[in-house]
Amino acid sequence: MLKTSLPPDNSAALELAVAAVAAAMADPSRVKMLCALMDGRAWTATELSAVADVAPSTASGHLARLVDGRLITCLSQGRHRYYRLAGHDVAELVEQMMGLSWGRITPPETTAPESMRLARTCYDHLAGTVAVQIYDFMQAGGWLTADGSALTVKGREAFLAMGIVLKANPRRKACSACLDWSERRFHLGGEAGAALLIHLETKGWIRRVEGFREVTVTASGRRAIDKHFGR
């Protein structure tokens, strides 16, 4: 008989929780909503109904299911209600699910728009070809531990030299290797990934495309990325 390291009561609760998350995501319309929320913004029910191509009344039911599954949260501001992903762990789950799903599509390179493949947001950090190349440079240069779970001393010093200040005791993962769904390789996630995205945007090296996940790398950004990350 297969045994787990968890007590029987905790094991049963875990199984039910996993099934609940899977059930909450098991609908194409809800998946479209989750993917839209991957840009890190809060969206209204009307906006999400348009994204999912369903009637507002139908969207309300899907949103309620996602809220119940603790995948999204609802924020009230005046007369308006906004929905956003429940946290970084949910964003990581959605990104990994997208990467796994691409493996069932042939060929994936012809499916993803070139602009989204090049650079986009993955909730609160950078994804796409540019992000993967930055991660590869950091890994090869000894900025990251082998599993990408933390910056090395060299990596922290390099971040500080660029003017990127990291929190001493972040509430989330300090650093993580996030699987890029279009490139099938890793890009930088966690607190370090979020700090890098903010830095790139503050410097004017990237610009977000309003309402979309795509990110435009500016001319000065291309030069800066070449300088700092050896592209």
Residue-wise pLDDT for 133-179, tens only, equals 999 999 999 999 988 889 999 999 999 999 998 877 777 788 888 87
- Structure confidence at residue 102 as a pLDDT band (50, 70, 90): low
Distance CA 82, CA 221 (A): 32
Average pLDDT over residues 20-30: 89
Average pLDDT over residues 121-130: 89
Domain boundaries, the chain: 8-86, 89-229
Architecture in CATH of 8-86: Orthogonal Bundle (1.10)
Q: Is residue 107 reached through a cis peptide bond, with omega within 30 degrees of 0 on the bond before it?
A: yes
Q: What are phi and psi of 126, to 5 degrees?
A: -85, 140
Distance CA 73, CA 69 (A): 10
- Structure confidence at residue 63 as a pLDDT band (50, 70, 90): very high
Both structure tokens of 128: 């796409």
Both structure tokens of 87: 């946290």
Share of the chain above pLDDT 70, in %: 88
3-class SS of residue 82: strand
Among candidate residues 170, 129, 122, 180, the one with its CA nearest the CA of residue 150:
170
